[in-house]
């Protein structure tokens, strides 16, 4: 079961763009506080990543990793998180992606 809401409002993406990013080998994360009692996550995979099949696969891998991390994290977080994917996310193994995402989220959002 998904413990977050998909972020789709352009205004929030633009607002998050002004925040200081946290860089990883596979992605960059920007987070801002929201007024709701839930976490909202937006994933950006631009065309530099590859064609639509590759971009969607990368998004599915990130969503799966986020689901696993949030299942272990039991506190309520009121954050909007924007994740911008890099090319390296397609070639990496899932365990590396999971550990990098967990470390990045702990430093930037939790």
User: Is residue 12 within 8 Å of residue 68, measured between CB atoms?
Assistant: no
CATH number at residue 16: 3.30.230.10
Domain encompassing residue 40: 5-108
Q: Say whether pLDDT at 70 is over 80.
A: yes
Number of independent structural domains in the chain: 1
CA dihedral 50, 54, 55, 56 (to 10 degrees): 160
Q: pLDDT band at residue 9, thresholds of 50, 70 and 90?
A: confident
| pLDDT digit string, tens, across residues 72-96 | 876 777 888 999 999 999 999 999 9
Q: Say whether pLDDT at 1 is over 60.
A: no
| Residue 1: closest CA among 63, 80, 55 | 63
């Amino acid at each position: 079961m998904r413990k977050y809401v998909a972020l789709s409002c352009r205004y929030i993406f633009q607002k998050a763009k002004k925040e200081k990013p946290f860089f990883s080998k596979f992605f960059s994360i920007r987070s801002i506080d929201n007024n709701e009692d839930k976490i909202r996550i937006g994933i950006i995979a631009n065309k530099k990543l590859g064609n639509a099949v590759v971009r969607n696969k990368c998004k599915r891998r990130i969503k799966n990793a986020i689901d696993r991390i949030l299942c272990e994290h039991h506190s309520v977080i009121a954050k909007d998180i924007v994740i911008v994917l890099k090319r390296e996310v397609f070639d990496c193994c899932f365990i590396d992606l999971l550990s990098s995402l967990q470390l990045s989220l702990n430093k930037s959002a939790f």
